[in-house]
Amino acid sequence: MEINPIILKFVYAAVVVGVVMGLCSYAVLAERKVCSWIQGRVGPNRTTLPLIGSIPVIGKFLTRLGIFQPVADGAKFLFKEDVTPAHVNKFYFIMAPVLSLVPALTTVVVVPFGRYVTEAGEIIPLVLADLDVGLLFLFAISSLGVYGVVLAGWSSNSKFSFLGGIRASAQMISYELAMGISVLPVLMWVNAPGTDGTLSLFDIGQAQEGLWFVMWMPLSFLIFLVCLFAETNRLPFDMAESETELVSGFHTEYSSFKFGLFFVGEYAHMIVGSCVITVLFLGGWNPAPFLTWDYLGFGDGILGAVLSVGTFMGKMCASLFLFIWVRWTLPRFRYDQVMRLGWQYLLPLSIANLIVYIFVIYFLDTTSF
């Protein structure tokens, strides 16, 4: 049976977006649970579904873990009254939440999450589109995410929202630079002389069958991580929200489903960020440094594909946990500190890092051993 390839792509895209949205809702649950554990509380443990919740032992256990909470949260967002204040610019007010969610979901297109080895030994990347310029595409689309925040702040027509929007635009531009430069050593190593030049994320993941990049480019990893926190507007960089100063920043005037879109957008950004950091630095779908599923004999066929996706998801969840952990541990920076950190420390540091690795990679490539 022949299926139209375009329809097939639509189906794949729907599946991937579904998985990301599901992960988003459970990331929210994880955030609430981890936060309450860190603060010595219990967290959501009451919400339950009629049938599953009444199974003895298991039902109670799941309820206490809060597994059913995301359903209730989602329903709450849908059914709350949607207030549009009279003083807002209606068009941009409605556009802004959409603009903050769409780029996050679009970037998922180029993120590879595993590999499938056919019987002929051919390696097929599990990704919606394995672009040659994958990494640049990712940076390009995620840089559009700032418009959601900026327009929300401006169209709300209130002081606090406006300040949040202004802060977000300055912050995102500042950290994009250091972020872009910090990954250059990785790309230089992947594009060694004699290979086809590529920025495909899948090839970067494949290049880490030996040493993971986090191990011999720790500084790049650190800079990238800090910039990622700033770009996703997470604490300690959530200048756009900072509820102690700006009520809740750019989304002060939002309610109900529009607020829900911002909320989901933030978590979608975090999930994509975790995926990228896994692919770039944490070895992608390889279980351990110098160890691939091939060496263990599980590399081929469906089993290998499932294992590689599982490994990838595990690493991604670990870095998602890091996001949450940091949020409930570190205090927020002051705004001038954020700007100083970005321009005076991270940017020079990333350039210095790049120059050092230019020489290191040059010597590694020219000396044969």
Partner 1 sequence: MTDLFFYIFSAVALISAFTVVFSRNTVNAAMALIVTFLSMASLFVLLEAYFLAVVQVLVYAGAVVVLFLFIVMLLDAKEDKQKKISRISTAAAVIGFAILVMGVVAIQSSPTLAEASGGELAASQMTLKTFGNQLFTTYLLPMQVTGFLLLIAMVGVIVISKKAKQPQS
Q: What residues make contact with partner 1 under the rule CB under 8 A? A: 92, 131-133, 136-137, 139-141, 143-144, 146-147, 150-151, 154, 162, 165-166, 169-170, 172-173, 176, 191, 196-199
Q: How far is the CB of 197 from partner 1 (least distance, A)?
A: 3
| Best CA proximity match to 266, nearest among 28, 91, 17, 19 | 28
Residue 113: partners with Cβ closer than 8 Å, 6 or more residues away: 126, 127, 275, 285, 309, 312, 313
Alpha-carbon span 3 to 317, nearest angstrom: 34
Nearer to partner 1, 150 or 346 (CB): 150
The answer to whether 316 and 278 are in contact (CB under 8 A) is yes
Alpha-carbon span 106 to 225, nearest angstrom: 21
Q: How far is the CB of 191 from partner 1 (least distance, A)?
A: 8
Q: How far is the CB of 68 from partner 1 (least distance, A)?
A: 39
The answer to whether 285 and 205 are in contact (CB under 8 A) is yes
For 158, half-sphere exposure in the C-beta direction (CA atoms, 13 angstrom radius) is 18
Nearer to partner 1, 146 or 240 (CB): 146
Nearer to partner 1, 162 or 263 (CB): 162
Nearer to partner 1, 135 or 261 (CB): 135
Nearer to partner 1, 71 or 133 (CB): 133
Q: How far is the CB of 347 from partner 1 (least distance, A)?
A: 15
Answer left, alpha or beta for residue 222, where phi above 0 means left and psi between -120 and 50 means alpha.
alpha
Nearer to partner 1, 121 or 197 (CB): 197
Q: How many other C-beta atoms can be found within 10 angstroms of the C-beta atom of residue 144?
A: 15
Q: How far is the CB of 256 from partner 1 (least distance, A)?
A: 24
Q: How far is the CB of 267 from partner 1 (least distance, A)?
A: 22
